Structure 1
């Protein structure tokens, strides 16, 4: 038990260190490429943190035969948007509220609403198509739908690139070159890559520790697979966004989560539509519906006064709590 708890602590520390390296590196990269805050957060940061966990469903479907690989793959694909919408977004709002109560920052969430609305609109459209429009009986139409989602993400990237947004400011220093105000690109990329590797190692160490502890205390594996593991795999986005919010860089924080939602609703989903049965029912469908409703709530509240923005972001936690209750209730009813 002590060793497993130690793994939890080590995993968290690695993710925290990696997140600090990553946010610092990605800010420097965005400034060097002369792209906007919105593009840096919604595309560069979002894709960087989403790529490692995207490998999970691909590996599961390829290397696990039968229903096991299908279940793990589909669960991982659906778990990411759900956790981002109902846990990562609320953590941003809660961090703002805590910072305000501690008099560390303003209650106003100064995220660029144009980029947020664009991200959420793309997410709601793509994820709704994936959950409700894909005809299970026609494989050719499913392939066309998958290609459509891939094209949709390319369109989203171009829209984000040319959209209006503030320019990135220069970071105080790059951790890998603290005395060089203009570090070469290969050093910037090296820091970003190292931070991503540390994130993957830290998240997997954390998952392994949580899994071991949960089994030791008698927690059902189903609860772990549906709830605990997805929380851990989305840890990088959560920690990155909290770090940025705490530093007052709200556009980067919000863009990291919202952009990851667009990525997760198009790239991994297109893989799932083609290479799995993609028969979304039961609690899996509920998680998708909750993700859509939570995101739609944030989109709606983005048109209200900014001083209420943080409260709107925080409301999504209710969907997460409700889903936990449904999973626990379903698990108990089977015994």
Structure 2
């Protein structure tokens, strides 16, 4: 299992590198919400696809829940710890989160909706609902990007009267950027291929390890799967947090965007994978372990978001989030451990 976990982690680094450099060309905030968020979610998507297609529905849902649990607590906690202390090149008293109001509302709504829909299990109708919510989020991000771009252009034009053509998003001409974009694209493709190559054997090894240690594969999926998928994102957050206010802001945008994807695109993929395995009317049924996991992750997500509805979040919030993650890990092993539930 460790071999395939390492393979997935390495592929995720390539993917993250490629997406981050592509964002320089297409705009950091929009790409952070869309391309970069999809890229950092691809490991989970691959794991969910293979798990659901093999009939391991519990493992598929557990992997997505684990990702949300990890990044909404420990991920944000580490970022705040760095951004507000001497670990940062420009320490902040707090990270401004007022510009992400729509993202926070969207994440709160998708977390609650996904939990409510799971009461009677997920079926094809829910799959289309999740896909629709993902599409709505992309449209929202696109509209906001266009509005911000238009506002910036108007500001520049106001400062340069008489100039009809204003280049807002400049770039350096020559071969340098082209080589960099080619390198980023190749890394993105290589990372994607590596993720889908390693996801299937990782799921198989995870199931075998579950039987060896006597812990439900669902619990292991919640705890272990996010390590491969979220490690590059956590490291990117650390590097961004050291750059001051702008970097910390981008890190927050990426976390919120990727967790919204988990509550929409990832769940849609799980449902469609189940339909591939069990037919059009396949149902991902609620079982005791998944019920407790869904409640736990939804409560943690709402708790984290409540703290983020303030103007700023700082070191105190980071400490609370870290404690929430430790407590949630302890709770994992108090949950039912029926090894027959996949």
TM-score range, shorter chain: 0.7 to 0.9
Q: Larger C-alpha radius of gyration, 1 or 2? A: 2
Question: C-alpha distance in 2, partners of 1:279/1:211?
Answer: 19
1:206 Cα shift?
Answer: 9.7
| TM-score (structure 2 length as normaliser) | 0.71
Distance (whole Å) between structure 1 residues aligned to residue 24 and residue 72 of structure 2: 28
| TM-score of the superposed pair, with normalisation by structure 1 | 0.72
Pick from 46, 57, 69: which aligns with 2:37? 46
Show the counterpart of 2:164.
none
CA distance in 2, matches of 1:202, 1:143: 27
Other structure's SS at 1:101 match = coil
Q: Which of 42, 60, 76 matches 1:89?
A: 76
TM-fit CA distance, 1:194: 3.1
Does structure 2 retain, via aligned residues, the 8 Å contact 1:120–1:258? yes
**Structure 1 residues 36-65: Cα deviation after superposition (integer angstroms, max 9, x where no partner):** x3212121111011123212122122234x
| 1:227 maps onto 2:223 in alignment | yes
8 Å Cα contact 1:244/1:253 also seen in 2:
yes
SS in 2 for 1:92: helix
CA drift of 1:332 comes to: 8.9
Match of 1:153 among 124, 134, 144: 134
Please state if 1:104 is matched with 2:89.
Answer: yes
Q: Where does residue 108 of structure 2 map in the other structure?
A: 124
1:194 matched to 2:185? The reply is no
Q: Distance in 2 between matches of 1:311 and 1:202?
A: 38
Partner residue of 2:285?
279
Cα 1:169–1:105 shift into 2, 3 Å:
farther
Given that residues 36 and 254 in structure 2 are in contact (C-alpha distance below 8 angstroms), is that contact kept between their aligned partners in structure 1?
A: yes
Q: Alignment partner of 2:310: what SS?
A: coil
Displacement of 1:145 in angstroms is 3.0
Choose which of 29, 44, 51 in structure 2 pairs with 1:60. Answer: 51
Give the deviation of 1:182 after TM superposition. 4.6
Alpha-carbon shift at residue 158 of structure 1 (Å): 1.5
**Matched length:** 307
CA distance in 1, matches of 2:320, 2:314: 10
| CA RMSD in angstroms, aligned pairs only | 4.1
Q: 1:272 to 1:9 in 2, by over 3 A?
A: closer
Q: Structure 1's 127 and 45: CA in aligned 2 closer, same or farther, altered over 3 A?
A: same
Equivalent-residue separation in structure 1 for 2:269 and 2:204 (angstroms):
26
1:262 paired residue among 260, 266, 279: 260
